[in-house]
Amino acid sequence: MIQHRMGLLPLTRDSMEIMREQDVVAFRNMVKENAVKIKMGLVNQTKLITAASEIVEKYAKIWKRRGNCH
């Protein structure tokens, strides 16, 4: 549980495979859905989605070089 201005919110653990560059779009959507769920403001949603996307894209390039990503 995390403390939020609206009360306590349960933590969940979502996961998804990112095997192609197109999977990053689905990942961004999942991050946005969770940000909306916890009632983040639009600016913070944008920051979170951008950061998450950049991290995944960075590691996708590494995985691709290693042959783990298509």
Tell me the one-letter amino acid at 33: E
Question: Using one digit for the tens of pLDDT, what is the confidence trace for 47-65?
Answer: 999 999 999 888 877 777 7
pTM of the model as a whole = 0.70
* DSSP string over the chain: -EEETTEEE----------STTHHHHHHHHHHHHHHHTT--HHHHHHHHHHHHHHHHHHHHHHHHHT---
Question: Using one digit for the tens of pLDDT, what is the confidence trace for 3-57?
Answer: 556 566 666 777 888 777 788 899 999 999 999 998 999 999 999 999 999 998 8
